[in-house]
Amino acid sequence: MLSGHLNLISLATWLSLLSLTRAYGINFKETGGYFNFSNIRYGEAPIGNLRFRAPVEPSSQDECLITNGSEGRVCPQSAGNWSIIAREFAQSYVAGLPFNYDLAISLLPDSPAAVSYDGRTTEDCLFLDVIAPQSSFNRNVSDLPVLIWVYGGGYSSGEKTGNGKFNPAGLLAASGGEPGFIFVAMNYRLGAFGWLGGDEVGADGTVNSALYDQRLAFQWVQKYIHLFGGNKDRVTVMGASAGAGSIMHHITSFGGAKEAPAFNQAIMFSPAFAPAPTDYIPTVTLDDLMQMLNVSSLHELRSLPSDTLIAANALQIYSHAPYGSNMYGPSLDGSFVPALPGQLLANGSFHKNISIMVSHNTLEGLTFTKPTIKTSEDYLNMFRQSLPTISNQTLSFISDALYPAVFNGTYGYKDQFQRALATIQDLAIICNTRYLADAMSDRAYGIQFAVPPGIHGQETSYVFQNGLTSGVTTSVADSLQSYIVGFVMNSVPTDVDGSPIPLYGPAAQLMRMASSGSTVIKDDTANARCSWWQQGLYA
């Protein structure tokens, strides 16, 4: 609660906040000296006729509450059962231990409810948090930069606080005290609720509605962040995995032809998505969901009770998702996503007045590669599942020229599993950083996160390290947070000693972050493989 800190907020600002939110409580953190304005509504409940459509701003009658965090909302979500195996396998693989895949399969729970259930789950989940330093109210400051967090989770899971893992206290402390910056985090719709695709959705709904959720939250910041001391013209968005993949889609939104996204800087850690060059997979996924629920149209799906659809979404993703996929994600819609982001970046069809910082890890593909891939046929079947419309000619080019079955280490792998791992991480994650940095080279900074084991998502605990995070190399976390804060506040990522990351530029320079320290290297994604994937020739 505010206790004796109400005097920090001017009467005019306080009245404006009351008008905006009808605030009943605000949390002040003595230990970091910041206010936490939690669970502010930024969009109408996406239910009834608004389900599967772009979000709308709250009506004037709607009560947009700020609470002390006790009434949090979580969007309906799930994860493929394979993700349980992937975590166990990754631990064994990194440790060099054998792994019994069949045993792991036999031990899987039958349903997602047996894995976890969050009582905060509701379709009415379009809320955000604003965390502002005390300094933003001390002297009526109105020029603080803003950092907006977009969480990851495979487009099927996640929430704005990460159940406490996304606490920005460490980042705020890394800013060195006053004046600091303002941190914003929003929920967005997941799974079938936010990422349905295909012609039927396009005709009677909004494909990629979750991207519009994020866009609406960005616009909310433009409209209201001044009340918290923020500057709407100094906004950086930051995301990891699916969050970073989403940001990549905002940078290429509408092919750069419409209004630019409401931010001028972006930080993307391991931007990940399964590229869908056609609407085949989104259409099949929608058909599968409708068959599960015994409905035959999007209208009928929209009319189902919330509990029914929430349960079906959870079960579909948990039980039907192929290994390495959560079934849902961005897809072509002829509008927001007119083509694959890599193609748009190559063609110059993107919003160009944005500075970026991009990062990838060294072992991104481990948790997405099926442990049973042991033969060339297994390798080819991986493509037939993930890219079902791919031609035999294209598949042969990939397997013979790009990733040939040569296991002496020349191509970066020594067995079929490592071959598949290298392919997956190039296609879905690592090459995305190359597309972005190459297209925006004079406004781009790059990082390779090489702290062992370097698996996907590992850097997030470093981003939000606050002195209590276990398993983190403190010196690396300090440097990474310093890079982030330097970029947010001064548009240049600098280490704790003041040394900057060099621009990516024509030389394709990255800062390699390892346990032993940071060094500048050439980006190893500046290669023929990424150049070929960027063309999107695998439809």
Is 364 tagged catalytic?
yes
| 182-186 vs 144-150, strand pairing mode | parallel
Residue 189 token pair? 């719709």
Contacts of 60 (CB under 8 A, 6+ apart): none
Alpha-carbon span 332 to 336, nearest angstrom: 8
* Active-site residue identified among 364, 459, 479, 518: 364
Q: How many H helices and E strands in the chain?
A: 20, 11
Are the C-beta atoms of 208 and 254 separated by less than 8 Å? no
Residue 172 token pair? 């705020």
514: helix, strand or coil: strand
Residue 397 token pair? 């080019």
Residue 132 main-chain phi, psi, to 5 deg: -120, 135
Alpha-carbon span 91 to 36, nearest angstrom: 36
Contacts of 141 (CB under 8 A, 6+ apart): 135, 179, 229
341: helix, strand or coil: helix
CA distances from 412 to 338, 395, 409 (A): 34, 20, 5
* Active-site residue identified among 136, 156, 175, 241: 241
Is 241 tagged catalytic?
yes
Catalytic site positions: 241, 364
